[in-house]
């Protein structure tokens, strides 16, 4: 007994010197379950773990066993991890034959020390997230154990392999989903084991080694109570898919009964322990109990009821290029009334657009520095605002918050300019202009000696009116937009003004508007379009050739034709037409030139 405890103490000392990996398979994890993630790119760990167990069969055979499992792993990246875990056993067995009081039977005791299988593993992580991780593990058991194999026998001074046996090893494939709940972590292991060993027997030769295939499973839960202490518990086992019958050995001398392997004839471990962290060093202590049924199957039976373990590990994480920890920033950009705005937010050299409906933005990947991070929000038609926030490591998961309430940018008034002239003479006119906005507010401006005016108007639509003594008022609409300047020139028409157009040459006896007449009517069209509120009379005149009745009708038709043409060109002024025939000549009708002067269209301004 003392030798066993001494060996266990030595094993713990070796573990402390070597610094161990967390899992008994070499890969990162707890004891019997593997974690889906590793320690980061270019990381490694080394160490050892020790298991001690004791057992007894019918008070005749008793044993004590210590398994030393040195481990090591290396991660190329966040995705790939290589691991190795050899096993070496120290076993003491005792036979208490003296209890049978048979002459010649004496108690005996012996030690069996030697290597067992070595596990080589490759773990790949496909999903590495904040709350869920997923990876796979592929392991291979290399058979170099002889002493602890049923297929090697002691012959003389050495172990000799049975000629029918081929030690090929075993492969293991495990899916590893994991759930990260802050301080709590839950890992699930489930997969398939396949024993590649062969034993050639029979005629014809049949290859078999039982059991061949099994389903390993494990559920590991840990809770980080503090930076130094993490309690954990595991349920793990293996269901062997084997329907062969085996013999049950009740006592050393009782005949054996045939029994099939059932669910509880397979190992099922309940493991509990504590993990202590001292910087890069981790120490595990705990124990586990085997819930396998009490049936002792010949060659495949339950040997261990319980065992205790202890191990130390030393690991270095992220030796590759350092990826700085970054933070998340979020917030809302609104107007003064709290309505979300379409805005652009810039922080730490990164830019994000808000959701136009809510004004919410999120910026991820911000560098964490000791200095405050400057933040700026910009929205069209609003004054920009700046702020700052000190980012910390906690903001990797819990975003820092910075909200902005923006004020509308004042729009400068638009400068409205123009000139007022007499339509006929082109001379400047002294006039007053009034501008009325949608709310009824009125502003006025007066022309200078040159007929020019200038006024500044806030953004909006204005109804403007020009009044001047002796002239018809002129109304127009003008828009002041975005502080841009605008110009409006106005030609005023005197009250009772008469415009005479003797260059409107109708064909003799006709009242048809020709292209030449349209060209001649353009000045009239302009003055009427510029003064839509005027009331005018369109008067038609003829020379004295022909009968008075015909000339009167012809002059009326020509006046009507001019009115119809003006209406088709969007003239809104109130127009009446009247034909005067040859009753109002401006010259005698003795010459051709004078008669042309009498064939005219006159516009009389009523108001």
What stretches of 241-303 adopt beta strand conformation (E)?
245-248, 257-260, 268-278, 281-290
Are 486 and 504 members of one domain? no
Are 574 and 478 members of one domain? no
Please list the ranges in the chain whose pLDDT falls under 70: 1-21, 58, 99-105, 203-205, 245-261, 294-304, 320-323, 502, 607
Are 517 and 476 members of one domain? no
Give CA–CA dist 125/39, Å, rounded.
11
Domain that holds residue 503: 499-605
pLDDT given for residue 529 in this prediction: 86
Are 115 and 197 members of one domain? yes
Give CA–CA dist 294/296, Å, rounded.
6
Cα R_g (the chain), whole angstroms: 53
Q: Which of 257, 286, 316 is the last residue of a domain?
A: 316
Are 90 and 149 members of one domain? yes
Give CA–CA dist 206/244, Å, rounded.
15
Strands 535-541 and 574-579: parallel
Q: Look up the CATH number of the domain holding residue 487.
A: 2.60.40.10
pLDDT given for residue 39 in this prediction: 85
CA-based nearest residue to 47, from 95, 81, 89, 13: 13
Are 503 and 520 members of one domain? yes
pLDDT given for residue 303 in this prediction: 59
Are 332 and 418 members of one domain? no
Are 112 and 216 members of one domain? yes
Q: What is the dihedral of CA 194, 200, 202, 208, to 10 degrees?
A: -10
Q: Look up the CATH number of the domain holding residue 402.
A: 2.60.40.1120
User: 524: helix, coil or strand?
Assistant: helix
Are 221 and 349 members of one domain? no
Q: Which of 406, 437, 456 is the last residue of a domain?
A: 406
CB neighbours of 267 closer than 8 A, spacing ≥ 6?
237, 238, 290, 292, 302
What stretches of 24-131 adopt beta strand conformation (E)?
43-57, 61-75, 80-95, 108-128
SS (H, E, C) 425-481: CCCECCCEEEEECCCCCEEEEECCCCCEEEEEECCEEEEEEEECCCECCEEEEEEEC
pLDDT given for residue 248 in this prediction: 56
Please tell me the total count of domains within the chain.
4
67 belongs to a structural domain: yes
| 443 token code pair | 């502003």
Q: Which of 449, 475, 492 is the last residue of a domain?
A: 492
365 belongs to a structural domain: yes
What count of other Cβ atoms lies within 10 Å of the Cβ of residue 167?
Answer: 20
Q: How confident is the model over 280-336, as pLDDT tens digits?
A: 899 999 999 998 876 554 444 555 678 999 999 999 887 766 667 899 999 999 999
321 belongs to a structural domain: no
CB neighbours of 87 closer than 8 A, spacing ≥ 6?
67, 68, 69, 115, 116, 117, 118
Give CA–CA dist 558/580, Å, rounded.
11
| 209 token code pair | 């080694």
Helices H, strands E: what count in the chain?
4, 39
pLDDT given for residue 22 in this prediction: 73
């Amino acid at each position: 007994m003392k030798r066993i405890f001494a060996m266990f103490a030595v094993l713990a000392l070796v573990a402390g010197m070597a610094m161990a990996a967390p899992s008994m398979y070499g890969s990162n994890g707890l004891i019997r379950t593997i974690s889906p993630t590793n320690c980061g790119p270019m990381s490694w760990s080394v160490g050892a773990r020790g298991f001690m167990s004791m057992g007894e069969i019918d008070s005749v055979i008793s044993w004590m066993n210590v398994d030393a499992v040195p481990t090591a792993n290396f991660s190329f990246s966040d995705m790939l991890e290589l691991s190795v875990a050899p096993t070496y056993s120290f076993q003491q067995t005792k036979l208490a034959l003296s209890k049978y009081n048979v002459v010649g039977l004496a108690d005996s005791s012996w030690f069996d020390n030697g290597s067992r299988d070595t596990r080589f593993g490759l773990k790949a992580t496909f999903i590495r997230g904040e709350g869920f991780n997923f990876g796979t593990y592929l392991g291979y058991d290399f058979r170099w154990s002889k002493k602890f194999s049923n297929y090697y026998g002691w012959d003389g001074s050495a172990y000799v392999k049975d000629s029918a046996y081929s030690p090929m090893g075993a492969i293991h494939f495990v899916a590893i989903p994991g759930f990260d709940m802050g301080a709590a972590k839950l890992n699930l292991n489930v997969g398939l084991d396949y024993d590649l060993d062969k034993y050639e027997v029979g005629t014809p030769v049949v290859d078999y080694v039982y059991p061949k295939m099994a389903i390993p499973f494990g559920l590991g839960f840990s809770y980080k109570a503090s930076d130094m202490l993490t309690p954990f518990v595991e349920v793990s086992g293996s269901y062997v898919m084997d329907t062969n019958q085996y013999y049950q050995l009740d006592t050393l001398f009782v005949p054996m009964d045939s029994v099939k392997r059932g669910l509880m004839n397979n190992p099922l471990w309940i493991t509990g322990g504590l993990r202590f962290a001292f910087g890069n060093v981790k120490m595990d202590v705990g124990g586990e109990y085997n819930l396998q049924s009490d049936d002792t199957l010949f060659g495949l039976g339950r040997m261990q009821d319980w065992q205790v373990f202890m191990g130390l590990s030393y690991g270095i994480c992220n030796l590759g290029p350092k990826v700085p920890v970054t933070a998340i920033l979020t917030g809302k950009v609104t107007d003064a009334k709290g309505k979300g705005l379409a805005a652009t937010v810039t922080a730490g050299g990164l830019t994000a657009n808000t959701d136009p409906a809510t004004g919410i933005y999120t910026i991820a990947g911000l560098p964490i520095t000791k200095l405050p991070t400057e933040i700026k929000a910009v929205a069209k038609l609003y004054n920009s605002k700046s702020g700052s926030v000190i980012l910390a490591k906690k903001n990797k998961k819990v975003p820092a918050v910075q909200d902005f309430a923006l004020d509308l940018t004042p729009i400068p008034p638009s400068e409205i300019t123009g000139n007022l002239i007499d339509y006929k003479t082109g001379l400047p006119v002294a006039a007053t202009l009034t501008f009325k906005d949608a709310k009824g507010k009125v502003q006025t401006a007066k022309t200078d000696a040159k007929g020019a005016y200038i006024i500044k108007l806030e953004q909006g639509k204005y109804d403007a009116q020009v009044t001047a003594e002796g002239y018809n008022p002129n109304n127009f609409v003008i828009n002041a937009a975005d502080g841009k300047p605008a110009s409006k020139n106005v030609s005023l028409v005197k009250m009772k003004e008469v415009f005479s157009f003797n260059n409107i040459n109708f064909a003799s006896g006709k009242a048809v508007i020709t292209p030449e007449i349209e060209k001649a009517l353009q000045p009239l069209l302009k003055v009427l379009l510029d003064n839509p509120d005027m009331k005018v009379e369109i008067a038609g005149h003829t020379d004295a050739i022909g009968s008075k009745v015909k000339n009167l009708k012809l002059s009326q038709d020509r006046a009507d034709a001019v009115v119809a043409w003006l209406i088709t060109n969007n003239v809104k002024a109130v127009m009446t037409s009247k034909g005067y025939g040859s009753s109002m000549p401006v010259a005698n009708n003795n010459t051709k030139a004078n008669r042309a002067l009498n064939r005219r269209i006159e516009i009389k301004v009523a108001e």
